[in-house]
Chain A
């Protein structure tokens, strides 16, 4: 929309705040009537990351929620940033998706310009600068992990722009249960299979203890050799098989009376349309 307060100057791109006053008024009107305005779809997530002997393992569940309804049973929360860097996103689903796509583009441009493979710390710095610029209105919490020339690194970034560098991290609504598993069983320099089992257990804890997380466990293993993306590594929440027959046998309910009323129908109009059956 052409910005009406500045009709003489050429438009610029980016966010437009023209409708925010109108939206505030509309929300006020809705809340007077007792309704609430539609909320953005959140991922209501458990995401986790761990540094092990050869690299980094990232894990995530696969449920996306719309307030109290499951919107997507099998969404992908581990996003590609660079061949050696992946990122898990929690919070508002659209924000996490667009943020990671922008980071991926920026990191590609940057590495083309420097001529070197990207560093995990580059991604984190650009991410936190952008999140701080928008003061938390971009509601995405991200865990960035990867292996670069300096080694294996794991960073987390919060929506307001703070970041942490730790050997194990969890974020999202199921972060509490997941971090408890990590705090109990994490050791530095674990082997691959132990580390995979640990991340799987942490995500499963989030799936069972948090309403916002569910469905499958996705894992992404990043090492110097390459990346292994294990989609649906584990499916802990499958429906159980029913043990017996729960249907009623025909004739269980006795029929007491039966009345038949034929409906009189008159043919009003008859037309024939030829179909092309070739």
Chain B
């Protein structure tokens, strides 16, 4: 875990990203018949989906994903395939320790594994989900999580 934490937040390894699938960031939810689901996610326009409204929107959305991909790829090159596999297995296990999706879970195990318990960034200061004024709709969120939607 120690050397993994040392390479946290390295951005200079674009070559490691070459065989990763680009995440199409801004699409709305696809409902039945492959068409956008207006009832659940409101009206949409092609412009809203294609162009980001802010230069940082896409990069911030995918930041954690890209960091993880780069780190795993570097770890694979240094230590062999077993290292990222074992780490991802631990992440998967730790991610399951949470409450129902509309309630706030602390993600303590996952944060400790990722090293987020030892740093403070804008995710902790701004828009804290525990302080948000609105709660998600419980039935829909649980259905989405269980894949029934």
A: which residues have CB within 8 A of B? 1-2, 4-17, 20-21, 24, 98, 102, 105-106, 109-110, 113, 129-130, 132-135, 137
Please measure, in the bound complex, the distance between the C-alpha atom of A16 and the C-alpha atom of B121, giving whole angstroms.
14
Residue contact B63 to A7, C-beta cutoff 8 Å: no
In the complex where A14-B127, A137-B55 touch, is A7 in contact with B122 (Cβ < 8 A)?
A: no
Report chain A residues within 8 Å CB of B137.
7
Identify whether the interface residues of A are mostly helix, strand, loop, or mixed: loop
Q: Name 9 extra pairs, CB < 8 A, besides A8-B140, A135-B59.
A: A4-B41, A7-B41, A8-B149, A16-B126, A16-B127, A17-B57, A133-B63, A134-B56, A135-B55
Partner of A7, one of B26, B118, B119, B136: B136
Residue contact A10 to B129, C-beta cutoff 8 Å: yes
* Across the A-B interface, the 3 shortest Cβ-Cβ residue pairs: A8-B144, A21-B53, A13-B123
Residue contact A14 to B122, C-beta cutoff 8 Å: yes
Contact flags (1/0) for B105-136 with A, using CB distance below 8 Å?
Answer: 00000000000001111111111110011101
Residue contact A15 to B122, C-beta cutoff 8 Å: yes
Residue contact A12 to B141, C-beta cutoff 8 Å: no
Please measure, in the bound complex, the distance between the C-alpha atom of A5 and the C-alpha atom of B28, giving whole angstroms.
6
Please measure, in the bound complex, the distance between the C-alpha atom of A8 and the C-alpha atom of B57, giving whole angstroms.
20
Partner of B54, one of A17, A132, A133: A17
CB contacts between A and B, total, < 8 Å: 103
In the complex where A8-B140, A129-B11, A135-B55 touch, is A113 in contact with B129 (Cβ < 8 A)?
A: no
Report chain B residues within 8 Å CB of A20.
53-54, 57
| Count of residues in B whose CB is under 8 Å from the partner chain | 43
Residue contact B118 to A110, C-beta cutoff 8 Å: yes
Report chain A residues within 8 Å CB of B41.
4-5, 7
* Distance (whole angstroms) from the CB of B102 to the closest CB of chain A: 7
* Distance (whole angstroms) from the CB of A9 to the closest CB of chain B: 7
In the complex where A102-B120, A129-B9, A132-B11 touch, is A14 in contact with B136 (Cβ < 8 A)?
A: no
Please measure, in the bound complex, the distance between the C-alpha atom of A245 and the C-alpha atom of B48, giving whole angstroms.
68
User: Is B60's CB within 8 Å of the partner chain A?
Assistant: yes
Chain A: CB-nearest residue to B145: A8
User: Is B34's CB within 8 Å of the partner chain A?
Assistant: no
In the complex where A1-B134, A132-B11 touch, is A13 in contact with B119 (Cβ < 8 A)?
A: no
Please measure, in the bound complex, the distance between the C-alpha atom of A12 and the C-alpha atom of B118, giving whole angstroms.
18
Chain B: CB-nearest residue to A113: B118
User: Is B95's CB within 8 Å of the partner chain A?
Assistant: no
User: Is B76's CB within 8 Å of the partner chain A?
Assistant: no
Report chain B residues within 8 Å CB of A132.
11
Residue contact A102 to B125, C-beta cutoff 8 Å: yes
Q: List 17 A-B contacts (CB under 8 A).
A: A1-B132, A1-B134, A4-B41, A7-B136, A9-B101, A13-B122, A13-B123, A13-B125, A13-B126, A15-B122, A16-B126, A17-B52, A20-B57, A109-B118, A130-B121, A133-B9, A135-B56
